[in-house]
Structure formats: C-alpha cells, structure tokens
Structure 1
C-alpha cells in the first residue's frame, strides 16, 4: 500500500487552518451584524413592532424565493412536502422564531436593549436547562453549576427590576426552543439529513407568510399601516428587513460549517456584548449596581459553560488523536 508523500501531509493541515480562518471570519461577521440590530429597528419607526415583524417575514420570504430560483435549489424545499413530520417541526420552529423576532423588535423600539442583551447572554444556560427538561440529557458538573448560577442571576435581576425580566426570558426561551426544534429536524428530514440554512429559512418564512399577509391586510384596513403612506424611503427600509434577516443567517451557516463547535460557542457572546454596550452607551438605559450584579452572575455562569465546552472539546480531540495513533500503528 502506497503512503501519501510529505507534501500531502503538509497541505491538509494548511487547508484545514485556512478553512477554519474563513469560517471564523464568516461567523464573526454574522454576530457583528446581529449586534447592530438595536441601531436598525428604531429606524423603521413609525412602524410598530407588529408591522415590522410582518414585513420582516414577507420580505425574507420574497428574498428566499429569489435565491432559490437563482441558485436552482427548489428541490430540497419541495422534498419537504413528502415529510409531514418535518413540515410540522418547521412550522413549530417558524412560530417560535416569529415570537423571538417580534419580542426583540419590540425591545429595540421601546428602550429595552439591555434587557434584550440579557436574553441572549442567558440563552446558552436556558438551552442547557431545556435539554434536561425536554430531552432528558444528563449534565456534567460544570453545566449544573452554570444553571444554578444562572437561576440566581435571574432572581437578582427580578428583584432589581421589581418584576421578572420577561423580555429576556421570552427571548432566551424562544431561541433555545428554536434551537432544539431545529436540532430535531436534522433527524426527521428527508433521508435523515439536516436542511441547509436557505432551505430552512425559506420553509419557515413561507409557512408564516399567509398569516403575515392576513396581519398586513388588517393593519391596512385599520389605517395603522405605514408602508404606503409614509415617504418612499420608509417603504424601502421596511423592504430591507428581508436582506437584514437573511444575510447574517447565511453567513453564520457558512461559518459554522467550517469551525469547531467551541469556536461558535465563544463567538455567540459577541452579539449580546454589543447589545449591552449600545444599550448603556448609546441609548443611555439605566444600569444600577444591583443590575450589574445580576449581569455579573450571568457572566460567571457563562464562564462555567465555556470552561465545560472547552474541556469537552479537548477530550474529543484527545480521543480522536488516540484513535488516529491506533489506526496509524495498525497500518505500519
């Protein structure tokens, strides 16, 4: 049996490193764009959060249809029609992400950017908790510690606000549920294969489109719609919600396919950090000491989760190297 030459051995690691570098850049670009959303949605006033959500769904669906046509990728979407279970899961995912989008738009338009950032800070902790409750997964000690500290953080912030941080909780629960549902789609799709980001986003927005059209008709009938009555630039801004929604998601999907899970896990904190900075420095939202204490507890929980994630990644790497050594010795 012939063995690959030294140049082949050198080329593979270099190509892998280059691919990971591109993946990190793509993923970082996605999270940076998501982090700028608090600056974007207020520009859509006087449209309220419901109208913005309706246009976001409809224009994203229009963009997806155009992309599917240009790239000739209708076949995977049409194949979904033969899998009722997958369509049902995607319909659930669509409803959950619509709730997430709507609440986030409301938060950015009503000076609750800090509370929205908290939702995405605690999202990893909530996702772990949902995995225990819904999937009966067993947690490692650091994960249990992170969940406990996260619960304490929510209690502290509830006392500070004088009410539960419902925007944060709804954002975290909806996005965590969305992630779990999408994870299940990978095992229920045609052939047991996962769906591409474009196919998934297309299916979800097209499933939501009929409801969005009805909502838009109601808004126009009541005279509360702003698309046709305000200056042309306002209509263009509402139409831009499709591009603003799709581009970061496609960048994220392209990046996630090229980098380890640990890299994605670390990059996800870029967005809430940017949101927090914008909320405090740009929108001048209140941050008393007690609220900082609650956020500090959240960050402790995230440090614990990150340490667990890195440790798990290192163990997988060592396991892979061990198998590679055994395989190499067998071929020698």
Structure 2
C-alpha cells in the first residue's frame, strides 16, 4: 500500500515538475516566433489550443461532457460572464508574456510570476473575504517594497510585472467562481475567444503582404505547435495536482519564473543590475516567508504558540 502511494506521488511530482519546466522554457519557443506580430501569435495560440483541447477531450472521452458544460454555462448568465472574463484575462496575460519575450523584457516578466501568489492573497482577501495571516501580510509588504525599489531604480513602474501578476490573479479568482475542471475550463475559455481570434486573423490576412510568414513551413509549424505548447504543461499540471500535496505545488511553482529569469539573463542577455538584485531579494524573501508559513511545521508552531498565549492569559487572570 505504501509503495503504491509513493508510486502515485512519484508520478505526481514528475508530472508537476514537467509542467513547470515546460512553462519555464516557453520563452525559447516564443523567441522562435519573434518575426511574427505578437497579436497574430496570440490569435494562433488561442485557435490551435482549442483544436488540441478538442482532440485531448475526445481521446479522454470527455468531449460529450464538454458540450454539456457549454450548454449549462450558456444557461447561466453569471457563470457565462465569469468564464468569459477569465478568458479575456488569460488572453491578455498570454499577450503580455509573448510581448515581453519579443521585446526583451523577460526579467520583468519573471518578476510578475514571482509576485503573482502574493497578488492572489490580496485578491482573495478583497473578493472572497479571506483572512490575511500575519506572515502573509509580512510577505506582501516585503514584495511591495521590492517592486517600489525596482520602480525607483528603473525610473518607472514595472508595468509588465504588474500586468502579468494582476491578470493571472484575476484569472485564478474568476476560475474559482466557476466549477469546471482545468482541461474543460481551458477548452471553454479558448472556445469563447476563438471567434475573436479567428475574425482578427481573417481581417489581418485580407492584406496579402501581412500573411507572408505563413508561406514558411517552419513558421506555420511553430504557430500550430503553440497549441501543444499551451495544453501540454496544463495537462501535466492537472495530472500532478491530483497526486501531490498543495504544499509541494507551492514550492514547485517558483521553478518556472526562476528558469525564465535565468533564460532572460544568460541566453537573451537582458540586464540584471544591483537594483534588480535588491528588488528581487526582497521578493524572494517574501516568497520564502509565504511558502514556509504554508507548511504543516509552521502551522503546528503557530498552534503551540497560540496555546501558550492562551495558557499565559488564563494564569494572568
């Protein structure tokens, strides 16, 4: 029984690890499409993601369930609005990320995904009335200070970082309001924005000169492959998330932005100065505190501390 459990967890860890590694190296893929306009890359990514999601759902025998979910969502205006907004936020997030790669702003993009969990905490507090713990507050304040340091050093607000963090935090919050699985959810989201993406491509390609890159087989293959680049890590993540504790996912999630940061510095030659190091140090410290505060060891420590305080209060009275 124990061996079976370890085997299941092993598959989960490998799947989640694979997902975060693929997300981490994704900038290399978008860099290969640097000669294609970002808005067109996004449109192709949406369309081919939907095609691949349909194939995956068909293979898994979930296509009928997908159409039932679509019908149910279209009958519920509130759910329809939430999932459409989620689709808009993730599309904006994808666009911003691809743009950051094309314009050599990967260091700033990695910062966005580092601060995303902390942004989600604040959003959870505001939208879902979740209570902010002492350590979460400390983490958020440290991360905020790190962003301020970067803004002062660079002479401007890190818009790429904040755009990525805020859009993904809102996406996560909206997903929480809609009860659908990860794969089905992504399929529905891409299904909703595909008409917009397809219409945009048809409009752009009405000009012969704008579609010249489609004559290149390698480029066309990469654009079609954008669907796999989107769906594969998500599929691996869905497999991993079911088999390993959330605490493990919490630590693994920082692998992707770390790889992105290293790619930006060492492969793309983006600047990483003393100011960047100072800002990132505050954010890394914030994430370390936040991650440790979520562990069972810290929860036991907090429980023991609470009991001691309660006992001291009783003795004093």
Q: Following the alignment from structure 1 to structure 2, what is the Cα–Cα distance between the partners of residues 198 and 97?
A: 14
Q: Following the alignment from structure 1 to structure 2, what is the Cα–Cα distance between the partners of residues 303 and 228?
A: 45
Residue ranges of structure 2 left out of the alignment (5+ in a row): 304-317
Contact 1:279–1:285 under 8 Å retained in 2? yes
Superposed, 1:1-332 pairs within 5 Å as 11=1, 13-80=2-69, 81-83=71-73, 84=76, 85-186=78-179, 195-223=180-208, 225-226=210-211, 229-311=214-296, 315=300
Question: Per the alignment, do residues 70 and 241 of structure 1 end up closer, same or farther by CA in structure 2, a change over 3 Å counting?
Answer: same
- SS of the residue corresponding to residue 139 of structure 1 reads coil
- SS of the residue corresponding to residue 36 of structure 1 reads helix
Contact 1:216–1:225 under 8 Å retained in 2? no
Question: Per the alignment, do residues 60 and 310 of structure 1 end up closer, same or farther by CA in structure 2, a change over 3 Å counting?
Answer: same
- Aligned-residue CA RMSD (Å): 1.8
Q: Following the alignment from structure 1 to structure 2, what is the Cα–Cα distance between the partners of residues 305 and 286?
A: 28
- SS of the residue corresponding to residue 41 of structure 1 reads helix
Deviation, 1:216, is 0.5
Q: Following the alignment from structure 2 to structure 1, what is the Cα–Cα distance between the partners of residues 258 and 34?
A: 25
Residue ranges of structure 1 left out of the alignment (5+ in a row): 1-10, 187-194, 319-332
Q: Following the alignment from structure 1 to structure 2, what is the Cα–Cα distance between the partners of residues 270 and 300?
A: 15
Q: Following the alignment from structure 2 to structure 1, what is the Cα–Cα distance between the partners of residues 36 and 46?
A: 15
Contact 1:47–1:225 under 8 Å retained in 2? no
Contact 1:61–1:202 under 8 Å retained in 2? yes
Partner deviation per Cα, 1:223-262 (whole Å, 9 max, x = no partner) = 4644664311111111100011100000001100101000
Question: Per the alignment, do residues 255 and 229 of structure 1 end up closer, same or farther by CA in structure 2, a change over 3 Å counting?
Answer: closer
> How many pairs does the alignment contain?
298
Q: Following the alignment from structure 2 to structure 1, what is the Cα–Cα distance between the partners of residues 53 and 273?
A: 43
Partner deviation per Cα, 1:4-38 (whole Å, 9 max, x = no partner) = xxxxxxx1x33222211110110000000000011
Contact 1:262–1:313 under 8 Å retained in 2? no
Question: Per the alignment, do residues 40 and 228 of structure 1 end up closer, same or farther by CA in structure 2, a change over 3 Å counting?
Answer: closer
TM-score, normalised to structure 1, is 0.86
